[in-house]
Amino acid sequence: MFAIQPSLLAISLLLSTVYSLPHILTSSKPYTEKLQSKQPLQPGLPANTELTLQYVTLGLGVQNYTCNGQRYIQNEAGDGAHATLYDATHYLGALPTEINTLPPRRLFAYESLHQREQVANVAPHLQVLGEHFFTSALVPTFDLSEAKPPLRLSAAKAAAVPAPTDDAVAWLYLVDRDDGQSDGLKAVYRVETVKGVAPSSCTAEETGSQLAVSYAAEYWFYQ
């Protein structure tokens, strides 16, 4: 019995590695078709049945806030999310039971290693697909530069619901804002959020100071 356990662990790690190498596999379609019906949704977010899933990504980064003298807000240039987007399509398609556990596990590694993303990107190792950021005009933007072909979404928030836990940022549904900057994407859901919420207040002495709060989330991109 004791001799078997290392072998089982090795097999588990090998499967995790294989499932997390999306560029080795030929097509995402079997995985996206399987995953679309498994997307987490909270009441208040629209159904995804009229859209076609393209990618599922793990977003890992920070939520940036500015103190207005009373509380932290996201109304200033430089505020909003800044996150690396990792392609989790094949990994979660093969292991859908990981949908609600991947973000907290990866955020724990990220914070434990002092926000060193590349060091934290282990077991599973996920390929970088692009980045999420806010423009100087505070437009949420998703640049999937490593997608084949590259995709981009210049987004506007269409729906938001509180996360299941108070210390996590809201679950969102964002759509193309029709400003001519999107390419190949119509919508994205932010779900399975972990952390990212600023402290409830700040002081007058802190006015103008910025705060970055670590967070993780899954972003489900649709066409």
3-state secondary structure 182-202: CEECCEEEEEEEEEECCCCCC
**pLDDT interval class at 139 (50, 70, 90):** very high
Whole-angstrom Cα distance, residue 146 to residue 24?
14
Q: Is 90 exceeded by the pLDDT of residue 16?
A: no
Higher pLDDT, 16 or 43: 43
Whole-angstrom Cα distance, residue 39 to residue 218?
10
User: What does the pLDDT read at residue 118?
Assistant: 67
CA distances from 203 to 69, 72, 100 (A): 5, 10, 36
Q: Look at residue 16 and give its three-state secondary structure.
A: helix
Q: Look at residue 139 and give its three-state secondary structure.
A: coil
Beta bridge partners of residue 53, listed in sequence order: 222
Whole-angstrom Cα distance, residue 29 to residue 54?
8
Least confident of 52-56, 105-109, 193-197: 105-109
Q: Is 80 exceeded by the pLDDT of residue 90?
A: yes
pLDDT, averaged across the chain: 88
Q: What percent of the chain has pLDDT over 90?
A: 78
Q: Is 60 exceeded by the pLDDT of residue 20?
A: no
Average pLDDT on 172-181 reads 98
**pLDDT interval class at 8 (50, 70, 90):** very low
**Nearest CA among 58, 55, 62, 36 for reference residue 47:** 36
| pTM above threshold 0.85 | yes
Q: Quick one: how far is CA 83 from the chain centroid?
A: 8
Q: What percent of the chain has pLDDT over 70?
A: 86
